[in-house]
Structure 1
């Protein structure tokens, strides 16, 4: 059986428990790049448990410059909500809403009150123009354009059935993701990093079966730079297993960059609860690259897409 491909953007075929996987052409390359033949495991896909696979994520980041004036300077944390609804046929909708900006810590709140407790900011403490408010905006929701009615994993486009047939064995899943890296022409010494980077999304963004998510979690524990940190709770008090992903230091223009990702996974559902990124430059926090994402919801729903409600 030949590999099924989309006319313009071929993809990697997947099969349950495949130890070796076939490749398709690199995404975006001309169609003269041909995929080899491969065999797909004959496996019935589980029917969807709802009208949409739905995710709801609260995203927080510290504004890179302080607000206030004089001795009353403080950091402000911005909050955004994003939601996605994807039907089994791949059609998707996206909702987004700014949830308001707030002083980050108790010390920041004290400085903010001394500064007159502003509800809006148009300039930072050093005079940079900004547009921030404590008031949430109205938000919006609409269909996602140009996704070719597919699910995405490791730069590959998959149908719902192919997502269901992703390998449920950690070693086979690693082989498939490594092949996806090579299809995308990732350098061989970066393949492990590419595989590691793809795994957190598999824990909530796609309607993969629980045993596939479990394989993703087990594979994460074996990847270079990944450490288990024991049991913990996220910012909402939900219990889960903590993991950290530490990447090798990078030196550019005489400066040392570090990057770390902390994950919390609910191992009873094999769903991601939170994903926090921390970056530093010469040991100092790089605020533009330091973010917190809390997965408020991930799973099947019959509720139609709507503007994200405030948490």
Structure 2
């Protein structure tokens, strides 16, 4: 049977117009046979949503109406936060490990400049580090304070109108501090295997001394073995992420999950974190956004309010791969506090963006 006869059979119209034949031919070769059960590797939940949209489009062609009527396709339905997080878990579970866990992160905070009425992104701390999977390899850590910059294109235009200043005096935690556009030089630290062993012994001694004491001791960080054990204990992982979120609620859950995922861990552990988030209340998919680096992202969002205003805390995932691009808090309304006064809705108040994050076999550079 030639393709025009197959299309006529599919459309159940005789004879169809040339436009409908063209549309049918496109559908015939774009979609797999109906009776064949198939699955594209890595398609996940997001892919299932796209397949459903494509099926709806085929039905729009093949049922009722004039053969010359235009084909109207419904826009793809946005996935829920739960669907996105489960798809992220599926992707994370297949990620391979490497010799080093590499993270390059830059964090900052917004400050309003009254003279010129614009916002700068300041207090920008940049960290670039390699954590070795083997105790026999060095860990490498670089850090610096990056220069402050106007936050958006509109802020850059206002900054230029104000004379393009290179320093600012801004309010932070109740006092005025100086911000500069000039970045600091990089600091470099290298932790040898012997130094790592000594550090582990120090941590073990402090943990032993603090055992059973509720005061006077810092909350110990989990060891790598303790972190990995959480992958097989969803209840303990959930308690770790949710009960330590404090009064910030779901917003702090997203921030804490972002911090947790930024540390070295197996693909199994990363997938478990995403699954815990999928069942956490108060998280929604706010749709596509662009972060301060200009990268497209899916924003999983939780809303909260305090005396400074109403904020959306967002966990940013890369579309398609669902890798974590960072976390940020966005001003939704208010600007009532002294540090948010003058800021417009949509201002990114704080951010922690990952320029690179994941396992690699490349040596530190």
Counterpart contact for 1:97–1:137, Cα < 8 Å: yes
Unaligned ranges ≥5, structure 1: 1-45, 307-311
Higher helix share: 2
The 1:245/1:141 distance shift into structure 2, 3 A limit, reads farther
Comparing 84-93 with 222-231, which one deviates more in the overlay? 84-93
The 1:287/1:148 distance shift into structure 2, 3 A limit, reads farther
SS of the residue 2:222 aligns to: strand
CA RMSD of superposed structures (Å): 4.3
Q: Counterpart of 1:85?
A: 130
Mapped pair 1:137 → 2:184: yes
Q: Counterpart of 1:97?
A: 144
The 1:99/1:202 distance shift into structure 2, 3 A limit, reads same
Q: Counterpart of 1:76?
A: 120
The separation in 2 between residues aligned to 1:284 and 1:264, in whole angstroms, is: 26
Mapped pair 1:292 → 2:351: yes
The 1:99/1:53 distance shift into structure 2, 3 A limit, reads same
The separation in 2 between residues aligned to 1:187 and 1:261, in whole angstroms, is: 13
Residue 300 of structure 1 and its aligned partner are, at CA, apart by 2.1
Residue 147 of structure 1 and its aligned partner are, at CA, apart by 6.0
The 1:181/1:277 distance shift into structure 2, 3 A limit, reads closer
CA deviations on 1:146-184 (whole Å, 9 max, x unpaired) are: 96388xxx964223x55445426xxx42x01245479xx
The separation in 1 between residues aligned to 2:280 and 2:251, in whole angstroms, is: 8
Mapped pair 1:112 → 2:172: no
Counterpart contact for 1:163–1:208, Cα < 8 Å: no
The separation in 2 between residues aligned to 1:220 and 1:276, in whole angstroms, is: 17
TM-score normalised by length of structure 2 = 0.51
The separation in 1 between residues aligned to 2:177 and 2:246, in whole angstroms, is: 42
Unaligned ranges ≥5, structure 2: 1-94, 204-218, 342-347
Mapped pair 1:176 → 2:267: no
Larger radius of gyration: 2
CA deviations on 1:54-102 (whole Å, 9 max, x unpaired) are: 1111223222x5264xxx4543222332223222257754322222122
Higher strand share: 1
How do 1:119-268 and structure 2 match up within 5 A?
119-121=166-168, 123=169, 130-143=177-190, 148=200, 156-159=221-224, 161-167=225-231, 172-173=233-234, 175-180=235-240, 197-209=255-267, 211-236=268-293, 238-247=295-304, 249=305, 255=307, 258-266=310-318
Counterpart contact for 1:155–1:180, Cα < 8 Å: no
Aligned residues: 237
SS of the residue 2:109 aligns to: strand
TM-score normalised by length of structure 1 = 0.58
Counterpart contact for 2:120–2:149, Cα < 8 Å: yes
